Amino acid sequence: MPTMSRFAVISDIHGNLHALQAVLARINQLDVDDIICLGDIVGYGPLPDRCIDLVMRCCCLTVRGNHDDAVINPKRELEFNGAARQAVIWTRRVLGPLHMDALCRLKAIDYPHESVMCVHDSPVPGPTDYIYDARIAAHAFMGVERPICLVGHTHVPMVFEGPAATGGSSLTSREVVAYMPRDGVSIPLDHQRRYICNPGSVGQPRDADPRASFAVLDLAHGTFTVHREDYDIVAAQLATEKAGLPTILAQRLAIGA
């Protein structure tokens, strides 16, 4: 059997079924072997149960995000701000036992391939777990134990490239190259280097582009390609308001913030 080498990578769906369906339809046309989910299936958005069902059906591997974790561990909701915390409490109330159990069974770290590790936020847990610049990525590379580390969490698509081995010590930010991926433009992955790759967010992009974001990791060709997909934002906003979730969570979808 040939080994899997072409993966779609999705993350931070956040209960936005409209965005998830649009992304899965697009992935269907991209000839991938399998789909990896980097967590935060729920939180913020109005259709967490439907999103869990789809992710469980479509993805070969899913790691647990901080919102998924806060829904099943009430103590962790204290780490969230107003609207995010309200959404976590709302999500816990509407999910049935089977969906709660599905979140409980997600691992914090997983390996879909010998060259790839997956975590939701950072391979080095702690207060600097939002990897949004070269300085934080330099620290995070200490925990990267495979050539490619897939992360989500920031809701901003990014690729960080570092030297093959750190010798256990932290890199400096000057040793890290940061790429801002553009829609459909492949970033080459050199097998002599290591990478931290973030596909952006399906359900709540925060890079001022409101389109859903995901990526294709092609190990045979050595590329990471971010794709942006239009979806029915107005329908997602109406569903958010109908659920009684904070208005800001509907508004921000239109501006990608």
Our finding on whether 129 is near Zn ion (CB under 5 A) is no
Amino acid identity of residue 56, one-letter, is M
Least Å distance between CB 1 and Zn ion?
34
Least Å distance between CB 40 and Zn ion?
4
- Please state the length of the chain: 257
Q: CB-wise, 70 or 187, nearer to Zn ion?
A: 70
Q: Distance between CA 97 and CA 239 in Å, rounded? A: 23
Q: HSE-up of 212 (CA within 13 Å, CB side)? A: 28
Which of the stretches 12-20, 48-56, 90-98, 123-131 binds Zn ion when contact is defined by CB under 5 A? 12-20
Our finding on whether 207 is near Zn ion (CB under 5 A) is no
Which of the stretches 9-17, 134-142, 182-190, 211-219 binds Zn ion when contact is defined by CB under 5 A? 9-17
Our finding on whether 69 is near Zn ion (CB under 5 A) is no
Q: CB-wise, 189 or 243, nearer to Zn ion?
A: 243
What are the φ/ψ torsions at residue 163 (nearest 5 degrees)?
A: -65, 160
Single out the residue of 202, 246, 199 nearest to residue 16, CA to CA.
202
Our finding on whether 121 is near Zn ion (CB under 5 A) is no
Least Å distance between CB 193 and Zn ion?
27
Q: CB-wise, 40 or 69, nearer to Zn ion?
A: 40
Separation of CA 240 from chain center: 20
Q: Which of residues 35-54 bind Zn ion (CB under 5 A)?
A: 40
Q: CB-wise, 21 or 204, nearer to Zn ion?
A: 204
Q: What is the DSSP string of 175-227?
A: G-EEE-PPTTPEEE--TTEEEEEE---SS---SS--SEEEEEEETTTTEEEEE
Single out the residue of 119, 195, 118, 203 nearest to residue 158, CA to CA.
195
Single out the residue of 179, 216, 211 nearest to residue 195, CA to CA.
179
Our finding on whether 68 is near Zn ion (CB under 5 A) is no
Q: CB-wise, 12 or 77, nearer to Zn ion?
A: 12
Least Å distance between CB 155 and Zn ion?
6
Which of the stretches 6-14, 16-24, 89-97, 233-241 binds Zn ion when contact is defined by CB under 5 A? 6-14
Number of residues forming the site for Zn ion (CB under 5 A): 2
Over the Cα atoms of the chain, what is R_g? 17
Contact residues: Zn ion, CB under 5 A: 12, 40
